[in-house]
Amino acid sequence: QVSVLYFARSAELAGIRCETLSMPRQITSLQLWEEIVKVHPRLADIRDQVVFAVRQEYVLLGDQLLVLQPGDEVAIIPPISGG
């Protein structure tokens, strides 16, 4: 079980700000993203712009292997614009 936090546009698309999801203990960052998109298909719209953080460390979507612990925090952070 991991806590998934949604920020800005990702929260709008998911319709929530946070939730707990069951994930395999070992999973690649891309597989983790795909599992989240299965729950919230509208998130696929921001795949190429999203910043992903696991345990408050940025992770690129790809084949990087993550070892998740119960209660780990996963954040979905779309690009933030400002001036």
- Indicate which CATH number applies to the domain containing 6: 3.10.20.30
- Determine the Cα angle at 69 with ends 37 and 54, to 5°: 50
Residue 27: pLDDT band (50, 70, 90) is very high
Q: Return the closest-CA partner of residue 48 out of 58, 35, 62.
A: 62
pLDDT band at 3 (very low <50, low <70, confident <90, very high): very high
Number of domains in the chain: 1
Section 11-36 average pLDDT:
96
- Residue 83 covered by a domain: no
Residue 50 has pLDDT above 90, yes or no: no
Per-residue pLDDT band for 49 (boundaries 50, 70, 90) equals: confident
Residue 24, domain member (yes or no): yes
